[in-house]
Each structure stands twice: as C-alpha cells, then as structure tokens.
C-alpha cells in the first residue's frame, strides 16, 4: 500500500513537472511554469537521489534537456532544440523510474494528467512568440480572405466550341467564356462542338457533340 502511494506521488510530481513545462511554453518567460516545473523536478529527483535510485548522470541528462528548452525560448530554432530538450527530459525520467515498461506507463499517465489540466487552463494564459510559431491560430475561412478553387457548376449543360485540341485537357469557349476544360477521355479536335457534362471543383468535363 505504501509503495502504491509512493508511485502515485511520483506520477503527480511528474504531472506537475510536465504541466509547468507546457505553461512555460505557452506563456514564454513569465516564470510561473518554470518555477512550478523546477519545484516538482527538484522534489522528484531529490527524493530518488537520496534513496539511491538515480545517479548524477540521469540528473545531468535532465538538466541538459532543460538547457535546450531555455535556449530555444531565448533564440527560437523552429523547435529543434525544444524537441531535443523534451526528449532528453523524458529519457532521464524513464531512467529515474527504473527504465522498465512500468516506468513508461507512469510517464504516460503523468503526461496525460498534465495535458488534461493544461487544456482546461490554456485559454486563460497569454501566448508566447514560440507558442504562436508552434500553433496555428488562423483558420482558412472565407471571412479571413481565403477562397477555395472557383466552381463553375452553372456551366453544366452549356454548349461551346473547343478552342484548342483536347488531349484530354485544353480550352473551350463555353457560354461566351474561355474555360479550361478536360474531355471525358477521348481526343477532341480543335473547333469541335462540345457540351459540359460535369463540374468537379475547378475541373470542367466536356463531351464532343457528335452528329449521327
């Protein structure tokens, strides 16, 4: 029972550590997340070091990861150093927990808790420059000035004339408009009469009007 309680405490400490890391990424230098993470990391590694369960090598790997993240925040490198830093921190934590599958499970549980709490508070936190680089905020909506490929559905059923040879793509004069078109697959010669049979997005499909 005591061992289970200790395990739960370790998971909670790691959850606080990861939450602090996420908060620091989001806020970018306010220090709240950093202090939270440092405190949790100190208690986690300190307690295990006293018990002889971790070595200075593992602590050193963790600190190297922290250093990479700090450098990334001061001089962004498109997330490269941040990724290396997070990987080093996760590796050191797994080693500190014993390097077993149970250690990986505890790590995943802690990360899940941290992400859940972070999602609940993320809207209340200011955004750092690094966070804005990592997260897409704008949506490609019509209101924002983004438009999809022009559709020409009104051309279906209209007739016209091939202005170029269609092999199978080319141009045709349809309803008085010069339109990029594609035949149903068969070759259509220049000057042939055509009818628009379908429009899929910007793809206008025509068929030759054959005289029986």
Q: What is the tens place of the pLDDT at every residue in 153-206?
A: 788 889 899 999 988 888 999 888 888 899 887 788 899 999 999 888 778 899
Q: What is the tens place of the pLDDT at every residue in 5-26?
A: 666 888 888 888 888 877 776 6
Query: Are 79 and 34 contained in the same domain?
Result: yes
Query: Are 65 and 120 contained in the same domain?
Result: yes
In a domain, 157, yes or no: yes
Query: Are 125 and 157 contained in the same domain?
Result: no
Neighbours of 53 (CB within 10 A): 13
Query: Are 40 and 122 contained in the same domain?
Result: yes
In a domain, 129, yes or no: yes
Q: Which of 104, 134, 164 is the last residue of a domain?
A: 134
Query: Are 42 and 116 contained in the same domain?
Result: yes
CA angle 15, 19, 24 (to 5 degrees): 150
Number of domains in the chain: 2
Query: Are 32 and 102 contained in the same domain?
Result: yes
Domain CATH code at residue 174: 2.40.50.140
Query: Are 62 and 164 contained in the same domain?
Result: no
What range defines the domain where residue 110 resides?
2-134
In a domain, 145, yes or no: no
DSSP string, 189-210: -TT-EEEEEEEETTEEEEEE--
| Tally of residues, the chain | 212
Helical ranges in 75-196 per DSSP H: 80-96, 101-121, 129-134
pTM for the predicted model, two decimal places: 0.49
The rounded distance, in Å, linking the Cα atoms of 94 and 109 is 12
The rounded distance, in Å, linking the Cα atoms of 160 and 204 is 12
Query: Are 130 and 54 contained in the same domain?
Result: yes
Q: Single out the residue of 4, 5, 15, 3 nearest to residue 115, CA to CA.
A: 15
In a domain, 139, yes or no: no
Q: What is the tens place of the pLDDT at every residue in 131-153?
A: 444 444 444 444 544 445 556 77
Residue 40: alpha-carbon gap to chain centroid: 28
């Amino acid at each position: 029972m005591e061992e289970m309680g200790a395990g739960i405490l370790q998971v909670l400490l790691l959850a606080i550590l990861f939450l602090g890391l996420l908060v620091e990424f989001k806020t970018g230098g306010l220090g709240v997340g950093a202090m939270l993470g440092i405190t949790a990391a100190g208690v986690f590694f300190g307690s295990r070091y006293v018990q002889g369960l971790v070595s200075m090598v593992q602590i050193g790997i963790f600190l190297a990861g922290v250093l990479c993240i700090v450098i990334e925040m001061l001089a962004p490198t498109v997330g490269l150093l941040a990724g290396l830093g997070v990987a080093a921190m996760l590796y050191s934590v797994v080693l500190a927990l014993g390097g077993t599958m149970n250690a990986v499970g505890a790590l995943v549980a802690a990360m899940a808790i941290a992400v859940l709490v972070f999602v609940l508070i993320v809207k209340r936190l200011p955004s750092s420059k690094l966070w804005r680089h990592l997260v897409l905020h704008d949506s490609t909506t019509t209101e924002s000035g983004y438009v999809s490929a022009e559709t020409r559905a009104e051309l279906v059923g209209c007739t016209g004339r091939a202005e170029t040879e269609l092999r199978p793509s080319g141009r045709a004069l349809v309803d008085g408009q010069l339109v990029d078109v594609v035949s149903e697959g068969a070759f259509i010669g220049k000057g042939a009469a055509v009818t628009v049979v379908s429009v899929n997005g910007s793809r206008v499909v025509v068929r030759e009007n054959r005289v029986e």
